[in-house]
Amino acid sequence: MRFIDEATIFVKAGDGGQGCVSFRREKYIPRGGPDGGDGGKGGDVIILTTSRRRTLSQFRFKKSLKAKNGGYGQGSQKSGKKGEDL
Protein backbone atom coordinates (compact mmCIF):
# COMPACT_ATOMS: atom_id res chain seq x y z
CA MET A 1 0.00 0.00 0.00
CA ARG A 2 1.29 3.41 -0.94
CA PHE A 3 1.57 6.13 1.70
CA ILE A 4 -0.53 9.22 0.87
CA ASP A 5 0.01 12.33 2.99
CA GLU A 6 -1.95 14.88 0.96
CA ALA A 7 -5.45 14.70 -0.51
CA THR A 8 -7.81 17.14 -2.18
CA ILE A 9 -11.46 16.34 -1.53
CA PHE A 10 -14.73 18.15 -2.21
CA VAL A 11 -17.42 18.12 0.47
CA LYS A 12 -20.96 19.51 0.41
CA ALA A 13 -23.53 19.84 3.17
CA GLY A 14 -27.00 18.43 2.51
CA ASP A 15 -29.78 20.62 1.19
CA GLY A 16 -32.81 21.30 3.36
CA GLY A 17 -36.03 19.53 2.42
CA GLN A 18 -38.99 21.28 0.85
CA GLY A 19 -41.88 22.38 3.03
CA CYS A 20 -45.42 21.16 2.48
CA VAL A 21 -48.29 23.37 1.29
CA SER A 22 -51.32 21.94 3.05
CA PHE A 23 -54.53 23.30 4.51
CA ARG A 24 -56.54 21.98 7.43
CA ARG A 25 -59.84 20.43 6.35
CA GLU A 26 -62.49 19.45 8.84
CA LYS A 27 -66.23 19.17 8.47
CA TYR A 28 -67.27 22.04 10.77
CA ILE A 29 -64.29 24.37 10.23
CA PRO A 30 -64.83 26.16 6.90
CA ARG A 31 -61.47 27.96 6.79
CA GLY A 32 -59.15 25.78 8.81
CA GLY A 33 -55.96 27.58 7.83
CA PRO A 34 -52.55 26.28 6.82
CA ASP A 35 -51.12 23.17 8.47
CA GLY A 36 -48.14 22.22 6.28
CA GLY A 37 -44.86 21.25 7.91
CA ASP A 38 -41.36 22.62 7.38
CA GLY A 39 -38.75 20.75 5.36
CA GLY A 40 -36.06 18.83 7.23
CA LYS A 41 -32.62 20.27 7.94
CA GLY A 42 -29.86 19.16 5.58
CA GLY A 43 -26.95 17.13 6.94
CA ASP A 44 -23.84 18.90 8.22
CA VAL A 45 -20.21 18.28 7.28
CA ILE A 46 -18.13 17.58 10.39
CA ILE A 47 -14.37 17.18 10.11
CA LEU A 48 -12.59 15.33 12.91
CA THR A 49 -8.87 14.66 13.06
CA THR A 50 -6.89 12.05 14.92
CA SER A 51 -3.20 11.36 15.39
CA ARG A 52 -3.83 7.61 14.96
CA ARG A 53 -4.57 7.89 11.22
CA ARG A 54 -1.26 7.53 9.37
CA THR A 55 -2.38 7.87 5.74
CA LEU A 56 -5.12 9.50 3.67
CA SER A 57 -5.42 6.53 1.32
CA GLN A 58 -9.19 6.27 1.93
CA PHE A 59 -9.58 9.49 -0.11
CA ARG A 60 -7.50 8.25 -3.03
CA PHE A 61 -10.49 7.12 -5.12
CA LYS A 62 -13.42 8.77 -3.31
CA LYS A 63 -12.70 12.49 -3.67
CA SER A 64 -16.25 13.84 -3.49
CA LEU A 65 -18.38 13.51 -0.34
CA LYS A 66 -21.90 14.85 0.26
CA ALA A 67 -24.10 14.84 3.35
CA LYS A 68 -27.71 13.64 3.00
CA ASN A 69 -30.55 16.00 2.13
CA GLY A 70 -33.41 16.77 4.51
CA GLY A 71 -36.80 15.12 4.02
CA TYR A 72 -39.96 16.76 2.71
CA GLY A 73 -42.46 18.36 5.09
CA GLN A 74 -45.91 16.78 5.47
CA GLY A 75 -49.42 17.86 6.36
CA SER A 76 -50.66 18.18 9.97
CA GLN A 77 -47.63 20.33 10.94
CA LYS A 78 -45.17 17.43 10.45
CA SER A 79 -41.60 18.53 9.74
CA GLY A 80 -39.40 16.60 7.33
CA LYS A 81 -36.69 14.19 8.43
CA LYS A 82 -33.24 15.64 9.22
CA GLY A 83 -30.48 14.72 6.77
CA GLU A 84 -27.70 12.44 8.02
CA ASP A 85 -24.43 14.21 8.88
CA LEU A 86 -21.19 13.43 7.10
pLDDT of residue 75: 77
pLDDT of residue 4: 61
Q: How far apart are CA 61 and CA 6, in angstroms?
A: 13
pLDDT of residue 1: 58
Check if the beta carbon of residue 65 is closer than 8 Å to that of residue 9. Answer: yes
Cα 33–chain centre separation: 29
pLDDT of residue 80: 79
Each of the 86 residues of the chain gets a pLDDT tens digit; together they read 566 677 788 888 888 888 887 787 777 877 777 787 878 888 888 888 777 877 777 777 777 888 888 887 877 777 777 888 78
pLDDT of residue 17: 82
In terms of phi and psi (left: phi > 0; alpha: psi -120 to 50; beta: otherwise), the region of 59 is alpha
Provide DSSP, 7-19. ---EEEPPPPPPP
pLDDT of residue 2: 65
